[in-house]
């Protein structure tokens, strides 16, 4: 299993059925980068300057919206994930 460090989480991007106003389903290359994902692993938290460790505000299974272009794409055992910092998570949906 993949274990993110610090305040990072591992995300599985959620595919969005993308359709233009005129009703045409867009092929993959034209689609916008997804901004929604499901958390599959969370780090142990961020260490503050006083040494205290702060647990994350999100949990495994949460569906989230995150900042476009945030994070790093990785491939583990043939599957693609995105590792992002909690501060790049905008909201839980």
State the residues that interact with its own copies by CB under 8 A: 2-6, 8, 10, 35, 41, 44, 47-52, 54, 57-58, 65, 67-68, 72, 74, 76, 83, 86-87, 89-93
- Least Å distance, CB 9 to its own copies, is 10
Beta bridge pairs of residue 9 = 42, 84
Cα–Cα distance measured from residue 93 to residue 43, given in angstroms and rounded to the nearest whole number: 20
Q: By C-beta, is 24 or 74 nearer to its own copies?
A: 74
- Burial of 49-84, coded b for 16+ CB within 10 Å and e otherwise, reads eeeeeeebebeeebebebeeebbeeeeeeeeebbbb
Q: By C-beta, is 15 or 48 nearer to its own copies?
A: 48
- Least Å distance, CB 50 to its own copies, is 6
């Amino acid at each position: 299993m993949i274990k993110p460090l610090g305040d990072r989480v591992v995300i599985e991007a959620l595919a969005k059925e993308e359709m233009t106003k005129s009703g045409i389903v867009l092929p993959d290359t034209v689609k916008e980068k997804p901004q929604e994902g499901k958390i599959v692993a969370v780090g142990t938290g961020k260490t503050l300057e006083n040494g205290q460790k702060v647990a994350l505000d999100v949990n495994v299974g949460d569906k989230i919206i995150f900042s476009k272009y945030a994070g790093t794409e990785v491939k583990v055992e043939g599957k693609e994930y995105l590792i992002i910092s909690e501060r790049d998570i905008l909201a839980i949906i």
